Amino acid sequence: MGEIITTGNKGKTIRSDCFVTLEIKDSGGIDLQLESKVAVMFGESIKVLAKQVLDFFEIKNASLKIEDSGALPFVISARIEAAIKKVIPSEKEFLPDMLKENMYSTARDRNRFSRLYLPGNSPSLMINAGIHKPDGVILDLEDAVAPDKKDEARYLVRNALRALDFYGAERMVRINQGTRGVEDLFFIVPHNINLVLLPKCEKPEQIHAVNERIDILRTKFSIPQPVWLMPIIESALGVINAYAIAGAAENIVAMAIGLEDYTADLGTRRTTEGMESFFARSMVVNAATAAGIQPIDSVFSDVADMDGLKQNVQRSKALGFDGMGCIHPRQIRVIHENFAPSTDETEKARKIVFAYHKAIEQGLGVVSLGTKMIDPPVVKRALNTINLAIKMGKLAENWRETYEQI
């Protein structure tokens, strides 16, 4: 009898997943057992898929039991492949077809107001994530995955990148730390990942190690589009080195701060007011801005407190952050609404930009609004506000035509 291997999840609260038990034998052919509430409708197709995976890896003799709780095909094949590779190392990959809807790249300066964290080993939370319209969907291979599940989570995340519709959200993965994180890249870079998050980043060398592997994989798989990076600052040392990290590579587009780990590193408690993290958050904002990338704030962990979230977003925006993380879809709307330009901000920006254009048209060297002089940085900020309001549908693209008639 061979070693009995298990992968996946089961239990009363588990949905859209399966639990696989595999024993590879010396003889006896394939013994395939299926327990599923949807066996009447999908039992035969599940068995066909399971046999395809076994045949692909040339498994001739094995006992395979699948306890299904409504798993989609990309989940089932990932669980079986992960089980097989625990016994038989192989460079072969059983890949689901890549959805044509997922073949998009993302811009360096796209909006990143919200990024929704999803555990990389929980398919039920992934399936409809894009419907909620976050700016980014993060499949997390790090803190959200138990240590003994990290290997099998890689196959699930890989398959999700190919078979799951992200509805236009930026396709993100948070990799693990160190060598394991570099190895994670093999499972995501060839499958049109848009952005990789690097946890607990403390020095530029961590960026360089990741980029070395990314460059090798982009060359090997002929990937033309860039793979963006977002290092996460989560320690006192990371805060001190924030500017060096932010400028460590051209494909860094944003830098985030993770306050749970940061406050733990300080040996203090995270509070709603955030005085214990004010220095760190200000450092990240200044470092990112100086390096020309987006500063992104930490998550707000109380998913039931919408008023608290609103206040937190407003404080974050006031500090200079361009977005933040979220851990539940219900947080997305509040984050977007409060990072977006307010009516007063938009109106003030319109006045400044209108005055600027009038001065240019009249050949004036000085721009003024009422009795106040307007310098170039103020105009630049106003233009950014206008462009953001247009992107978010809060201002028409032809606003100047309408404004001139007022």
Per-run averaged pLDDT (10 residues), the chain, 406 residues: 89 95 94 93 95 96 96 98 95 96 94 95 93 96 96 98 96 97 98 98 97 97 96 98 98 97 94 90 97 96 93 94 95 92 82 76 64 72 80 75 58
314 and 232 inside one domain: yes
- Residue among 253, 274, 278 nearest 112 (CA): 253
321 and 335 inside one domain: yes
CB within 8 Å of 58: residues ≥ 6 apart: none
Q: What's the pLDDT score for residue 2? A: 75
Q: Is 259 part of any domain? A: yes
CB within 8 Å of 49: residues ≥ 6 apart: 73, 76, 77
Query: How do 18-24 and 4-8 pair as beta strands?
Result: antiparallel
223 and 165 inside one domain: yes
Other Cβ atoms less than 10 A from the Cβ of 290: the count is: 12
Other Cβ atoms less than 10 A from the Cβ of 118: the count is: 24
Q: What's the pLDDT score for residue 171? A: 97
Q: Is 353 part of any domain? A: yes
Q: Is 93 part of any domain? A: no
Q: Is 400 part of any domain? A: yes
Among the three residues 285, 308, 339, which one is the final residue of a domain in this structure? 339
Q: Are 108 and 141 in contact (CB under 8 A)?
A: no
Q: Is 31 part of any domain? A: yes
Among the three residues 61, 87, 113, which one is the final residue of a domain in this structure? 87
**Strand extents, DSSP E, 298-356:** 323-326
Give the Cα separation of 164 and 141 in Å (integer): 17
Q: Are 191 and 158 in contact (CB under 8 A)?
A: yes
Q: What's the pLDDT score for residue 371? A: 62
From the CA atom positions of the chain, what is the Rg in Å?
Answer: 25
110 and 74 inside one domain: no
DSSP run (H or E) holding 314: helix 306-319
327 and 357 inside one domain: no
Give the Cα separation of 72 and 163 in Å (integer): 10
- Residue among 121, 216, 128, 225 nearest 173 (CA): 121
150 and 40 inside one domain: no
Residue numbers of the domain that contains 71:
4-87
The first and second tokens of residue 399, run together, are 């606003």
Number of domains into which the chain is organized: 3
CB within 8 Å of 263: residues ≥ 6 apart: 269, 270, 276, 277
Q: Are 136 and 172 in contact (CB under 8 A)?
A: yes
125 and 67 inside one domain: no
The alpha carbon of 388 is separated from its chain's Cα centroid by a whole number of angstroms, namely 21
CATH of the domain at 223: 3.20.20.60
Among the three residues 23, 58, 87, which one is the final residue of a domain in this structure? 87
